[in-house]
Amino acid sequence: MSKTVFETTRKPIAIGSDHAGFEYKKAVKQWLKEKGFIVKDFGTTSLDSVDYPDFAHPTAHSVESGEAAFGILFCGSANGVAITANKHQGIRAGLCWENEVAKLVRLHNDCNIICIPSRFVALPLAQEMIETFMHTAFEGGRHALRVNKISC
Protein backbone atom coordinates (compact mmCIF):
# COMPACT_ATOMS: atom_id res chain seq x y z
CA MET A 1 0.00 0.00 0.00
CA SER A 2 1.30 3.46 -0.85
CA LYS A 3 1.79 6.23 1.64
CA THR A 4 -1.01 8.65 2.23
CA VAL A 5 -0.58 12.09 0.74
CA PHE A 6 -0.63 13.32 4.32
CA GLU A 7 2.70 11.54 4.86
CA THR A 8 4.36 13.57 2.11
CA THR A 9 4.02 16.91 3.88
CA ARG A 10 7.51 18.08 2.95
CA LYS A 11 6.12 19.04 -0.45
CA PRO A 12 3.60 21.84 -0.83
CA ILE A 13 -0.06 21.32 -1.58
CA ALA A 14 -1.08 22.83 -4.93
CA ILE A 15 -4.38 24.68 -4.93
CA GLY A 16 -6.34 26.53 -7.58
CA SER A 17 -9.81 27.76 -8.47
CA ASP A 18 -11.86 29.87 -10.77
CA HIS A 19 -14.01 32.77 -9.52
CA ALA A 20 -16.80 30.43 -8.32
CA GLY A 21 -14.34 28.58 -6.09
CA PHE A 22 -12.30 31.58 -4.98
CA GLU A 23 -13.81 31.99 -1.50
CA TYR A 24 -13.41 28.27 -0.73
CA LYS A 25 -9.84 28.29 -2.04
CA LYS A 26 -8.99 31.26 0.14
CA ALA A 27 -10.53 29.66 3.25
CA VAL A 28 -8.97 26.23 2.65
CA LYS A 29 -5.57 27.75 1.97
CA GLN A 30 -5.69 29.56 5.33
CA TRP A 31 -6.97 26.42 7.09
CA LEU A 32 -4.13 24.31 5.67
CA LYS A 33 -1.51 26.90 6.61
CA GLU A 34 -2.87 26.94 10.17
CA LYS A 35 -2.30 23.16 10.20
CA GLY A 36 1.34 23.73 9.23
CA PHE A 37 1.17 22.86 5.53
CA ILE A 38 2.91 24.75 2.76
CA VAL A 39 0.38 25.76 0.11
CA LYS A 40 1.23 26.85 -3.43
CA ASP A 41 -1.64 28.95 -4.75
CA PHE A 42 -2.13 28.99 -8.52
CA GLY A 43 -5.00 31.49 -8.42
CA THR A 44 -7.41 33.01 -9.12
CA THR A 45 -6.97 36.00 -6.84
CA SER A 46 -10.44 37.55 -6.90
CA LEU A 47 -14.13 37.02 -7.60
CA ASP A 48 -13.72 38.47 -11.11
CA SER A 49 -14.87 36.08 -13.84
CA VAL A 50 -12.02 33.95 -15.21
CA ASP A 51 -11.47 30.79 -17.26
CA TYR A 52 -10.94 27.72 -15.05
CA PRO A 53 -8.32 26.06 -17.32
CA ASP A 54 -5.96 28.99 -16.64
CA PHE A 55 -5.73 27.81 -13.01
CA ALA A 56 -6.38 24.07 -13.32
CA HIS A 57 -3.50 23.50 -15.75
CA PRO A 58 -0.75 25.02 -13.57
CA THR A 59 -2.13 23.28 -10.47
CA ALA A 60 -2.13 19.95 -12.31
CA HIS A 61 1.35 20.57 -13.73
CA SER A 62 2.68 21.17 -10.22
CA VAL A 63 1.35 17.80 -9.06
CA GLU A 64 2.35 16.00 -12.26
CA SER A 65 5.93 17.29 -12.07
CA GLY A 66 6.27 16.21 -8.44
CA GLU A 67 6.64 19.76 -7.17
CA ALA A 68 3.46 19.35 -5.08
CA ALA A 69 2.37 16.38 -2.97
CA PHE A 70 -1.19 16.61 -4.30
CA GLY A 71 -3.68 19.18 -5.55
CA ILE A 72 -6.99 20.75 -4.64
CA LEU A 73 -9.18 22.40 -7.27
CA PHE A 74 -12.43 24.31 -6.81
CA CYS A 75 -14.98 25.58 -9.29
CA GLY A 76 -18.75 25.86 -9.28
CA SER A 77 -19.48 22.26 -10.34
CA ALA A 78 -15.88 20.95 -10.18
CA ASN A 79 -16.48 19.35 -13.58
CA GLY A 80 -14.51 21.94 -15.53
CA VAL A 81 -11.41 21.74 -13.34
CA ALA A 82 -11.60 17.92 -13.20
CA ILE A 83 -11.83 17.61 -16.98
CA THR A 84 -8.95 20.04 -17.42
CA ALA A 85 -6.67 18.44 -14.83
CA ASN A 86 -7.32 14.97 -16.22
CA LYS A 87 -5.89 16.06 -19.59
CA HIS A 88 -2.47 15.77 -17.91
CA GLN A 89 -1.08 12.27 -18.35
CA GLY A 90 0.16 11.95 -14.75
CA ILE A 91 -3.00 13.24 -13.11
CA ARG A 92 -5.99 11.45 -11.71
CA ALA A 93 -8.39 14.16 -10.58
CA GLY A 94 -11.48 13.02 -8.71
CA LEU A 95 -14.67 15.04 -8.40
CA CYS A 96 -15.90 14.74 -4.82
CA TRP A 97 -19.24 15.81 -3.34
CA GLU A 98 -19.34 13.69 -0.17
CA ASN A 99 -16.79 12.26 2.22
CA GLU A 100 -17.12 8.63 1.11
CA VAL A 101 -16.32 9.67 -2.47
CA ALA A 102 -13.20 11.50 -1.25
CA LYS A 103 -12.09 8.29 0.43
CA LEU A 104 -12.79 6.10 -2.59
CA VAL A 105 -11.02 8.30 -5.14
CA ARG A 106 -7.83 7.77 -3.10
CA LEU A 107 -8.42 4.18 -2.00
CA HIS A 108 -9.48 2.77 -5.39
CA ASN A 109 -8.35 5.32 -7.99
CA ASP A 110 -5.11 6.70 -6.49
CA CYS A 111 -6.26 10.24 -7.30
CA ASN A 112 -3.71 12.96 -6.79
CA ILE A 113 -6.06 15.93 -7.15
CA ILE A 114 -9.37 16.41 -5.35
CA CYS A 115 -11.92 18.56 -7.20
CA ILE A 116 -14.66 20.13 -5.10
CA PRO A 117 -17.86 21.81 -6.36
CA SER A 118 -18.08 24.97 -4.28
CA ARG A 119 -21.68 25.67 -5.32
CA PHE A 120 -22.89 22.30 -4.04
CA VAL A 121 -21.00 21.47 -0.83
CA ALA A 122 -20.61 23.43 2.39
CA LEU A 123 -17.13 24.58 3.37
CA PRO A 124 -16.96 22.28 6.45
CA LEU A 125 -17.72 19.30 4.21
CA ALA A 126 -15.06 20.44 1.74
CA GLN A 127 -12.53 20.51 4.58
CA GLU A 128 -13.66 17.09 5.83
CA MET A 129 -13.23 15.67 2.32
CA ILE A 130 -9.74 17.14 2.04
CA GLU A 131 -8.79 15.60 5.40
CA THR A 132 -10.10 12.23 4.26
CA PHE A 133 -8.32 12.53 0.91
CA MET A 134 -5.05 13.37 2.68
CA HIS A 135 -5.30 10.50 5.17
CA THR A 136 -6.35 7.74 2.77
CA ALA A 137 -3.72 5.60 1.08
CA PHE A 138 -4.17 3.88 -2.27
CA GLU A 139 -5.20 0.29 -1.67
CA GLY A 140 -3.30 -1.11 -4.64
CA GLY A 141 -3.91 -4.75 -5.55
CA ARG A 142 -6.73 -5.22 -8.04
CA HIS A 143 -7.17 -1.43 -8.10
CA ALA A 144 -3.58 -0.93 -9.27
CA LEU A 145 -4.29 -3.15 -12.29
CA ARG A 146 -7.24 -0.91 -13.18
CA VAL A 147 -5.43 2.36 -12.55
CA ASN A 148 -2.54 1.19 -14.75
CA LYS A 149 -5.00 0.84 -17.66
CA ILE A 150 -6.09 4.49 -17.53
CA SER A 151 -3.25 6.08 -19.51
CA CYS A 152 -3.58 6.18 -23.28
Whether residue 142 has pLDDT greater than 90: no
Residue 75 designated active-site = yes
Per-residue model confidence as pLDDT tens digits over 50-62: 999 999 999 999 9
HSE at residue 121, side-chain half, CA atoms within 13 A, is 25
| Confidence at 10, pLDDT banded by 50, 70, 90 | confident
Q: What is the pLDDT of residue 63?
A: 97
Residue 108 designated active-site = yes
Q: Omega of the bond prior to 9 within 30 degrees of 0, cis?
A: no
Delimit the domains of the chain by residue range: 10-147
Catalytic residue of the set 19, 108, 111, 115: 108
| pTM of the complete model | 0.94
CATH no. for 10-147: 3.40.1400.10
Per-residue model confidence as pLDDT tens digits over 115-133: 999 999 999 999 999 999 9
Catalytic residue of the set 57, 75, 88, 96: 75
Q: What is the pLDDT of residue 82?
A: 98
Q: Rounded to whole angstroms, how far apart are CA atoms 91 and 65?
A: 10
What's the DSSP call for residue 78? S
